[in-house]
Amino acid sequence: MTDTAVNQAGVGSRSPVDEVFLVDPSVRARRRQTVIVAVSRSALAVLGLVVWELVSDRVISSFWISSPSAIWSALLRFAVEGQLLPAVWVTLLETAAGFAAGAGAGILVGLAFGISPLIARILDPYLVALNSIPRVALIPLFILWFGIGFETKLLFAATLVFFPVFLNTFAGARDVDRDLIDVIRVMGASRLDVVRRVFIPSALVWVFAGLRMSIPFALIGAVIAEMFTSNEGLGYLIAVTANQYDTAGSFASLLVTTVLGLALTWGVSQLERRALRWRLHSA
């Protein structure tokens, strides 16, 4: 009798989350897999850092590969000397501006190509020709036209972002169900309604795929342009430390750049989850 009461009390005290795990074993399995992935990633990172620290100056000279401890010391030095945060801020602004400009242009041109096959046929060879130009070769022209200021970094980052976003948007717009367009046109929808309610929602998944792909390109473009044309930013910090044969400083600058790229990519992924929440509900 007492055992039964205890069992009933235990059942009654279970939270809704516990009930879900009891009812659906797949939820528990997914949770266990998430923990395994997180632990495995952390273990690999720690193992890599330990091996790197042990190899440095024992197997390979630290002049070539530095070491995690030296890189950490360089990061602290940059922070104390006031170099790190201003460099990150400058690069972040250039990346965000270049990304916004390139992505906006890519989305507009991609939608125009998808909506009007005639425009696509006329302009396609020109865009193919522009896409075949090595981007780095544009930096001297941008310096000639715009100097070594903010505009050069913005435009160079935008050129790297434009084509991935354009190609994905064009593919999404071209993938629209033409029967659906005919149906809503018969129902009295205007051309603008077709664009707003059919083309844009259809292309949105492809657009975000292009945005996720291109956000690292925006950062790469800003950093490369800084290495050529700037006296501030992470690219300038990388160039200066490399010229001074400061291997630890170069690795520290690259580490900060990598972390910034991961943070920006995560931000775009979160934006995608919010914007495409309807896909999760309909899946």
Q: Is residue 61 part of a domain?
A: no
Residues 167 and 142 grouped into a single domain = yes
- Provide the number of structural domains found in the chain: 2
- Report the greatest alpha carbon distance in the chain: 90
| 117 neighbors 178 (Cβ within 8 angstroms) | no
Residues 125 and 174 grouped into a single domain = yes
Rounded to an integer, what distance in angstroms lies between the CA atom of residue 78 and that of residue 83?
A: 5
For the chain, residues with pLDDT lower than 50 are: 1, 5-6, 9, 11, 17, 20-21, 23, 281, 283
Cα three-residue angle 219-224-230, rounded to 5 degrees: 105
Residues 18 and 77 grouped into a single domain = no
SS3 state of residue 133:
coil
Q: Is residue 63 part of a domain?
A: no
Q: What is the pLDDT of residue 6?
A: 46
Q: What is the pLDDT of residue 70?
A: 93
Q: What is the pLDDT of residue 187?
A: 75
| 121 neighbors 179 (Cβ within 8 angstroms) | no
Q: What is the pLDDT of residue 283?
A: 47
Residues 29 and 72 grouped into a single domain = no
Backbone angles phi, psi at 244, to 5 degrees: -90, 5
pTM beyond 0.85: the answer is: no
Residues 241 and 179 grouped into a single domain = yes
Residues 197 and 105 grouped into a single domain = yes
Structure tokens at 162: 């434009």
